[in-house]
Amino acid sequence: MRSFLRTLRAFSKPVFAQRRLQSLTPGSLSFAAARTMATSTAPVLKQPIKLACIQLASGKDKAANLARARDKVVEAARAGAKLIVLPECFNSPYGTNYFPQYAETLLPGPPSQSQSPSYHALSAMAAETKTFLVGGSIPEADPDPATNKYYNTSLVFGPDGALLASHRKVHLFDIDIPGKITFRESEVLFPGNKVTIVDLPDYGKIAVAICYDIRFPELATVAARRGAFALVYPGAFNLTTGPLHWRLQGQARAMDNQLYVALCSPARDTRASYHAYGHSLVVDPMAQVLVEAEDKETIVYWDLDGEKILETRRNIPLATQRRFDVYPDINEGKISFEEPNPPK
């Protein structure tokens, strides 16, 4: 009987595999993606990298905010961080009434010092510390005032001070929780239109998105399937959605995609009109929160290790278990990685 069962299993496994692949032709993207996921053992993080999330306290003085950011970036670099993240709207207060007042023109690029002091300050910080710097986000103004267009924009710089990438917030924060909070970024801001994946030479790729973007798992899934080792979200959750969903969203994106997730918030200022939740944190590929701040200004650090990603994916092999014969492959659809007139 045992011999018969072993023979039956030997015949049934190839039949099942053949049936799964019959719907995936060798020339299709699904077939290629499935084969790659099933066979690739290349690490997505080539060597360990120390990450720092700076939970910055910002006020109404832009110059003071930039100077404070520089001090904290230098502090993080001296502690050994090579990938440093600033929070959403680190150079200004957060709020729809502040966006136009603090907005800077990034186009045509590169902008002059007078056009964008924040661009030049971030570039200088990255070059001074020889680190990769995810510059939180800043309010960006369209160069044509007649358009009345503003964006919430993250700028990523390399160790030589050169701009590596930019991300305009794709999903605008429009919510209404009766008796708690109503906020509509779309009253002032326009959305970006792309997935942002950034290559960090000698390390690998990260994805950058901003705050409310984290609620849309499609961005994270595409980035993970394209080889990112970390998802980085500068964000400013509030005292309603923060306790409910901040940590949960970070863990969910890490669990779904089996990579690191970093959430970087401003410090909480109870005198401001918008109260940020704080609690900057780092989550590992097993969805464990590794380090988490409280609400005050601080820096949280963690050493990201590619072996943890590989170990997680070996132990729970989601990549080889996906069923694109049952549901569509999100990585195969129409995906935008570019948009007209990005900052340069």
Give the DSSP per-residue string, 187-223. Answer: GTB-------EEEETTTEEEEE--GGGGG-HHHHHHH
**20 lies in some domain:** no
Cβ-Cβ contacts under 8 Å for 119 (sequence gap 6 or more)? 104, 106, 110, 111, 138, 155, 163, 343
* Confidence band of 341 (pLDDT split at 50, 70, 90): confident
Least confident of 55-59, 93-97, 135-139: 93-97
> What's the CA gap between 268 and 279, in Å, rounded?
9
- Whether residue 85 contacts residue 329, with contact meaning beta carbons closer than 8 Å, is answered with no
Three-class DSSP category at 154: strand
**The pLDDT of residue 7 is above 70:** no
Q: Which amino acid is at 260?
A: Y
* Confidence band of 15 (pLDDT split at 50, 70, 90): very low
**93 lies in some domain:** yes
Closest CA to 328 of 48, 44, 24, 93: 24
- The whole-number average pLDDT for the span 302-321 is 97
Tens-digit pLDDT profile for residues 92-111: 999 889 999 999 999 998 99
**The pLDDT of residue 36 is above 90:** no
Helix, strand, coil proportions of the chain in percent (round to 5)? Answer: 35, 25, 40
Range of the domain at 126: 49-332
Q: Write 109-112 long-range contacts (CB < 8 A, 24+).
A: 109/163, 109/343, 109/344, 110/163, 110/344, 111/343
Q: Which amino acid is at 317?
A: P
**The pLDDT of residue 245 is above 90:** yes
**295 lies in some domain:** yes
The more confident residue out of 308 and 23 is 308
- The whole-number average pLDDT for the span 304-313 is 98
Assign residue 214 the CATH number of its domain: 3.60.110.10
**311 lies in some domain:** yes
- Whether residue 44 contacts residue 204, with contact meaning beta carbons closer than 8 Å, is answered with yes
- The whole-number average pLDDT for the span 107-118 is 96
Length of the chain, in residues: 344
**The pLDDT of residue 34 is above 90:** no
* Confidence band of 74 (pLDDT split at 50, 70, 90): very high
- Give alpha helix (H) positions in the chain: 2-22, 29-39, 62-78, 99-102, 117-129, 217-225, 241, 247-257, 306-315
**149 lies in some domain:** yes
* Confidence band of 192 (pLDDT split at 50, 70, 90): very high
Q: What is the pLDDT of residue 116?
A: 98
Give me the percent of the chain exceeding a pLDDT of 90. Answer: 79
Closest CA to 313 of 132, 102, 127, 44: 44
Neighbours of 107 (CB within 10 A): 17
Least confident of 46-50, 82-86, 271-275: 271-275
Task: Tell me the catalytic residues.
Answer: 88, 169, 211
**101 lies in some domain:** yes
Q: What is the pTM of this model?
A: 0.88
Domain count, the chain: 1
* Confidence band of 35 (pLDDT split at 50, 70, 90): very low
Neighbours of 236 (CB within 10 A): 27
| Average pLDDT value for the chain | 90
- The whole-number average pLDDT for the span 185-214 is 96
**The pLDDT of residue 224 is above 50:** yes
- The whole-number average pLDDT for the span 174-203 is 93
* Confidence band of 119 (pLDDT split at 50, 70, 90): very high
Give me the percent of the chain exceeding a pLDDT of 70. Answer: 88
> What's the CA gap between 81 and 97, in Å, rounded?
34
The more confident residue out of 133 and 22 is 133
**24 lies in some domain:** no
Q: What is the pLDDT of residue 42?
A: 73
Least confident of 12-21, 262-271, 285-294: 12-21
**117 lies in some domain:** yes
* Confidence band of 41 (pLDDT split at 50, 70, 90): low
- The whole-number average pLDDT for the span 87-93 is 97
- Whether residue 298 contacts residue 308, with contact meaning beta carbons closer than 8 Å, is answered with no
**The pLDDT of residue 23 is above 60:** no
Q: What is the pLDDT of residue 181?
A: 86
Q: What is the pLDDT of residue 294?
A: 98
- Whether residue 115 contacts residue 107, with contact meaning beta carbons closer than 8 Å, is answered with no
- The whole-number average pLDDT for the span 274-289 is 97
